Amino acid sequence: MENTSKREEVFRTLRADRREGVLLVKEEYDALSSFILSTIEKAEGLSLHDLLEKAHQEIGSRLEGDLAWKILQVKMDLEARGFLEIVTPTRKRHAFTIKLTRQGLSKIRYENQVAEWAVNDL
């Protein structure tokens, strides 16, 4: 009997305290991290609720499992790696927004450039 199971590459996330986080399928991690970074770039000052809403609208049916949980894990990893930061307004301590760092902006611009080159090479 042939083994037809496909072995998928996995990615280990980081937690804010720099310890190891969860394992995610690398392809899903890459797609979600690109989605998060590009969405925040387009709408600076997005709340987590807004981000989750956009994710359900744009990619909700394409991924298996709990999309909100995966988005949260990837967002925390991007924070731990310095691509995102959480900003708390001085007057509304219970409200916060997600903002790209310079490093995050560089990463999304690089990804966009690579995608553009790939399209031009076709």
Kindly report the CATH number assigned to the domain that includes residue 73: 1.10.10.10
Residue-wise pLDDT for 42-92, tens only, equals 887 788 999 999 999 998 778 888 899 999 999 999 999 999 998 887 676
The H or E element that residue 60 is part of is none
Q: Is residue 106 part of a domain?
A: yes
Residue 113 confidence (pLDDT): 86
* Calpha distance 50→40 (Å, rounded): 10
Q: Is residue 1 part of a domain?
A: no
Q: How confident is the model at residue 36 (pLDDT cuts 50, 70, 90)?
A: very high
Q: Is 80 exceeded by the pLDDT of residue 122?
A: no
The domain tally of the chain equals 1
Provide the b/e sequence for 83-113 (b: ≥16 CB within 10 Å). bbeeeeeeeeeeeebbebeeebeebbeeeee
Contact 9, 16 (CB under 8 A): no
Q: Is residue 3 part of a domain?
A: no
Q: Is residue 95 part of a domain?
A: yes
Q: Name beta bridge partners: 23.
A: 12
Give the domain extent around 34: 10-121
Percent of the chain scoring above 90 in pLDDT: 47
Q: Is residue 19 part of a domain?
A: yes
